[in-house]
Amino acid sequence: MRSPATDGTVSVQLARFVVDALRRSGVEPGRVARLPDLGPEVLGNDLARVSTASALAVWEQLTLAGPGTAIGALITDEAPIGTFGLWDYLITTGPSLRETLRQAVEYNAVIGDAAQEKLLVEEDGRTFNIRHATGSWGPDVVEAIDFFVLGLFLTRSRAATGRPLVPLRVSVTHGASGRHRQLTEFFGTTRIDFGAPYNSITFHDNDVRAPLPRAQPGLDRLLVRHAELTLAAARPALLWQDRFRMALDSAFREGAVSLEHVAQRLAVSPRTLQRRLGEHGTTWREEVESVRQEHALELLRTTDLPLRSVAARVGFSDVRALRRAVRRWEGRPPRDIRSTAGAGAGAGAGAGAGEPPATSWGTGPSPRACRP
C-alpha cells in the first residue's frame, strides 16, 4: 500500500536506526549531523517522515564502516522487535508467517519509501519467496540496502516463529562479498547466490504455513487498520522544495545529475517536477546552477583538489568554464577564494597536479549532461 504523502520518505523509526548504527560504527557523521530532518526534534516524532535523500546520506557514511557492504545484513541483528515500530508487529503478529509476511510486503510504506523499494511475493506450493529491488543509487549503498532488507525479513521471521529459521536460499544481484563467511553465519546457509538476476530470500512452504506461537485472533486486522491510519497521518518533516534540494544535492555527490534521475528520487515524472519547480518560482536549470555553485565553492574552500578535478566534479567542461563561473558568482578568481580560505599555496595548480583521495562527492559521470 502506497500513500502519495509518504513517497520520497522513510519512517522515522528506520531513520533513527541507521543514524544510531552510524554512531555505533565510529564513523565521523560529518554533514549527516547537519541535515535538517535528522535533528532530535524530528527523530523524536514517531509520525514524522524523513526524506529518502537524508536516509541515503546516512547509508553512504555507514558503508564506509563495513567493507563489502555486508554490514546491511549484519546490523539487523542489532534491531530487536519494536525497533521499526508498527511494521515489526505487522510481520510478527498473525496466524502464520505466510500471512504476516504478505502483510508486511503490502504495507512496506510503513517503514520505507514505497516509491523506491519494490517487493514481490512468489509462491509455488513448495517455497515462499520474497523479491526485492531498490532505487538506482550508488552501488555500495544499493548493496547495503539490499542485504539490509533481506536481513530484516529473516530476523523478523525468526522472531515471529520463535526458532532459528533457515532460508532455503538467498540470492543477490551483487558480486561475492569479502565477508562471505559472516553472511553464511548470519543467514545460516551456504546457499547464497551472488550475481543472481534479482535479490530474494526463499523459505520452505512448511515454515511459513505453520501457526505462529503468539498469534492472537483478530490482532492482525487491528494492526492493518492502524497501519492505514498511520500512513494517512504521516507527514514529511521537510517541505517539498527542501526535499527537492536534498535529492539534487545527492545527485551531485553521486555524479548522476539529470532531470530524470532526480524526478525518480522524488517519485514524480520529469514533467511534473518541472511544473512543481515553476509553481515555486524557479526552474530546473536555475536550481542546478545554484547547487553547482554551492558545491564548487565548497570544494575550493575545503579541499586541495586541482581545478580540473573541481571542474569535472561539478559538471564544467574545463577549467576555463569553472574560472568564468567563479568570477560571475564571486567577482574574483578561484585562487583568491582558496587564499582567503587558507588553502595551501599551489592547491589549484591544475593540469599537472596529482589527484588526492576522492572526496564524498564521488567521481561518477559528469553532471554537465543535465537537461532543462
* Predicted confidence (pLDDT) per residue in 183-210, tens digit: 999 999 999 999 999 999 999 999 999 9
Residue 174 and residue 34 share a domain: yes
Number of domains in the chain: 2
Residue 266 and residue 224 share a domain: no
pLDDT of residue 31: 66
Residue 304 and residue 156 share a domain: no
What cell does 56 get?
541515503
Among candidate residues 233, 265, 282, the one where a domain is terminated: 233
pLDDT of residue 280: 86
313-360 pLDDT, tens digit each = 888 889 999 999 999 999 999 988 887 766 443 433 333 333 333 332
pLDDT of residue 99: 95
pLDDT of residue 363: 27
pLDDT of residue 138: 79
Residue 184 and residue 56 share a domain: yes
Among candidate residues 195, 212, 233, the one where a domain is terminated: 233
The CATH number of the domain holding residue 228 is 3.90.1520
Cβ neighbors of 31 (< 8 A, separation 6 or more) are: 57, 360
Residue 303 and residue 183 share a domain: no
End-to-end CA distance of the chain: 33
pLDDT of residue 364: 31
Residue 261 and residue 198 share a domain: no
Percent of residues in the chain assigned helix, strand, coil, to nearest 5: 55, 10, 35
In a domain, 92, yes or no: yes
pLDDT of residue 150: 97
Burial class (CB in 10 A: 0-12, 13-18, 19+), 209: middle
Strands 118-123 and 199-204: unpaired
In a domain, 369, yes or no: no
Place of cell 510504506: 109
Which residues in the chain show pLDDT less than 70? 1-3, 30-31, 66-69, 177, 341-372
Among candidate residues 200, 233, 266, the one where a domain is terminated: 233
Tell me, yes or no, if the pTM score tops 0.75.
no
Domain span holding position 282: 240-352
Residue 177 and residue 32 share a domain: yes
Alpha carbon distance 81, 85 (integer Å): 8
pLDDT of residue 369: 32
